[in-house]
Chains A and B, each alone.
Chain A
Amino acid sequence: MALPKYTEPHYRIWHYIYLTICGAVFFFLIAPLFVIFPLSFNAEEFLSFSDGMKSLDPDAFSLRWYKDMIYGTKNPWGLAAKNSFIIAIFATIGSVILGTVAALGLSSRHMPYKGLIMAVLISPMIVPLIISGVAIFFFMAKAGLAATHTGIVLAHIILGTPFVVITVTATLSGFDHSVTRAAASLGSDPVNTFMKITLPLILPGVISGGLFAFVTSFDEVVVVLFLAGLENTTIPIQMWTGLREQLSPTILAVATCLIILSTLILVTAELLRRRSERLRGINR
């Protein structure tokens, strides 16, 4: 973005103003996340920087809240984490299978009523969560699945599939169908063709859709609030209750762990995206 030498002074000033604005926006986006990190090591029970922390006094920092998160007697975080992972993993598997298969059908040029069906399949992503929550709650209550893991997993499959459908159809849009025809002409049956030819090629899209589904489930609180009983508490539910009642630094310890987790997911997603673009030859 270096300016050409001949730029007139007032444009030069404008350019620096523009860069300053951009810097401020980036700061606004990312800075809030970094507040949590140091405060989670606070030795005191307050949610602001103590004088000791400002002067970098080592005694002002401690792992107290992390210990509380893991060993705290009254703490529900263990159960919540277990539930969250179980629910998210099953919801991801369900979303990926249903979503990928549907995306294969949707990408076929023979698919009838494509627009309408796509609109229905994507709708759980667009409809406000509170409405989805109410509707899914009515269904689960009738089906006797309220306050069960199965009910929450099903609910999260509903919310997760749109992401899989979108990412996999995007991957399939650059897909060369002659390779599957070649496989068929060489005597491969459709299932074998899918497993050996199609799946490896669309795998980046499938995995990144799966990541979206995982994060959606892992971070979902509105629908779970309607569905969960005490036994089905999840990390987001615990955070929600904690944030509403009293902001304890233990929440910040949990939040730090979640930020680390999301960083890992971001890196994976980015690597996959680049690999997928390379495979589809969109390298610029």
Chain B
Amino acid sequence: MSSETKQILTTDGIPLEVSLKKAERKNKIKAFLLVAPLLLFLIITYVFPIGDMLFRSVDDKMVTQMLPKTFKAMENWDGQELPDEEVFAAFHEDFIKLVEDKREGKLSTQLNYTKNGFKSIIKKLRRKSKSFEEGNYKEQIMSVHKRWANVEYWRAIKRRAPEFTSQKYLKGMDMYVNEEGKIVSVEEDRRIHRVLWLRTLEIAFFVTVFCFLMAYPIAHLLATLPMKYSNLLMICVLLPFWTSLLVRTASWMILLQQQGIVNDFFVGIGLVADDNRPEMMYNKTGSYVAMTQILLPFMVLPLYSVMKTISPSLMRAGKSLGGTPFVAFWKVYFPLTIPGIGAGCLLVFILAIGYYITPALVGGASGTLISNQIAFHMKSTLDWSFASAMGLMLLSGVLVIYWLYNKLVGIDNIKLG
């Protein structure tokens, strides 16, 4: 029986295999067309803008475009001694143009990021430049302020020549490129970002641990109690889950304030003196307590859904084979709950590492996280490229955990409620 003679044909004479493939392809396209609107929507409004952040974080065209002639003239300058007249003349020409467009303020802000002290000398230069005579700009500019005669400031300008920069990422790790072009750390007492990164990791880690320690027993109780009791207790988990984040944070602000209920209670049982009430809010404690309570449901729910599937007869079998309840629990029950532990811990950690609202309200200065710093640069200093850079650094961390989560749990196994 050779295959050519016995090829199965459909009623219209096309080989079955071809026809099936065609149908398969049609189904594929159909399925894809259903997903396409949302996918396209997200790519345009969400994925591309995140790419835009990446571009912004390394983009440094602003200064390049403000001082085109200067940078052209600087190409031949070795950066050892003060640049010669050619560079000064080019800089003067660029600067006059900027003053005409009223953009010299932007230049001073930008240059000040690279080296402190540019703001005042650019202001001064603007005032004096009106009375400049033609020719010998080097002398004239240098006489405006002694910093204009300092080669380090000219090196700082030259460092802004490239269109792209990794400066913002280095700044996010408290590093910078020094005069010799080497990457070095800033002085120890100015390493604010490293402190923030470490604190973010620390708080996220401990919140995850606290959530796990608290969620495990109650998830176990919920999974083993008879339905009518567990449904009632489940409300205690689900009501906070569905309640507004701000409402829950507000309730912690009331509880933890110095004249608040928790402090009243501590004074009442004689734990602390009335005139020596501890600060429990606007510091790390506030962040820990509030975040743990707010994220706890996200740990309980995955643990519960795994524990629900473990048959109680397994524990009985373990005990009947001579294990004490503890041994039976540790050797039989606990290993079976590991998928739930993994899911819950990763979920809580991902959520905690990017937390913003709660730390901003109850964290004070010592309890804020990296997200708060990003928001600060977006809203207050308006250094959007720096905010983007730090956002992407945080994002890359989260994506690693997301990938891990996908590997271990599978993204389509996320359960809600």
Interface residues of A (CB under 8 A from B): 1, 11, 14, 18-19, 21-22, 25-26, 28-30, 32-33, 35-36, 39, 47-49, 98-99, 101-102, 104-106, 108, 110-112, 115, 117-124, 126-139, 154-155, 157-158, 161, 163, 165-167, 169-170, 208, 212, 215, 218-219, 221-222, 225-226, 236, 239-240, 243-244, 247, 251-252, 255, 258-259, 262-263, 265-266, 269-270, 273
Q: List 10 A-B contacts (CB under 8 A).
A: A25-B218, A32-B255, A36-B250, A118-B412, A131-B50, A131-B53, A131-B374, A133-B375, A218-B244, A259-B243
User: Which B residues between 24 and 41 are near A, CB-CB below 8 angstroms?
Assistant: 24, 27-28, 30-39, 41
Choice from A163, A212, A222, A239 contacting B356 with Cβ under 8 Å: A222
Which B residues touch A47, using CB under 8 A?
254, 257, 260
Interface residues of B (CB under 8 A from A): 24, 27-28, 30-39, 41-50, 52-53, 56, 214-215, 217-218, 221, 224-225, 233, 235-240, 242-255, 257, 259-261, 264, 293, 296-297, 325, 350, 353-357, 360-361, 371, 374-375, 378-379, 384, 387-388, 391-392, 394-395, 398, 402, 405-406, 411-412, 414-417
For the complex, give the distance between the alpha carbons of A47 and B387 in Å: 36
For the complex, give the distance between the alpha carbons of A169 and B237 in Å: 24
For the complex, give the distance between the alpha carbons of A110 and B257 in Å: 57
Does A128 contact B34, Cβ atoms closer than 8 Å? no
For the complex, give the distance between the alpha carbons of A110 and B52 in Å: 33
Minimum-distance CB pairs A-B, first 3: A128-B354, A105-B34, A108-B31
Choice from B37, B39, B235 contacting A120 with Cβ under 8 Å: B39
Which A residues touch B374, using CB under 8 A?
130-131, 134
Which B residues touch A30, using CB under 8 A?
236, 239-240
Which B residues touch A165, using CB under 8 A?
38
Which B residues touch A29, using CB under 8 A?
236-237, 240, 293, 296-297
Does A266 contact B254, Cβ atoms closer than 8 Å? no
Which A residues touch B296, using CB under 8 A?
25, 28-29
Which A residues touch B43, using CB under 8 A?
120
Choice from B35, B36, B398, B417 contacting A128 with Cβ under 8 Å: B398
Which A residues touch B44, using CB under 8 A?
139
Choice from B33, B240, B350, B412 contacting A105 with Cβ under 8 Å: B33
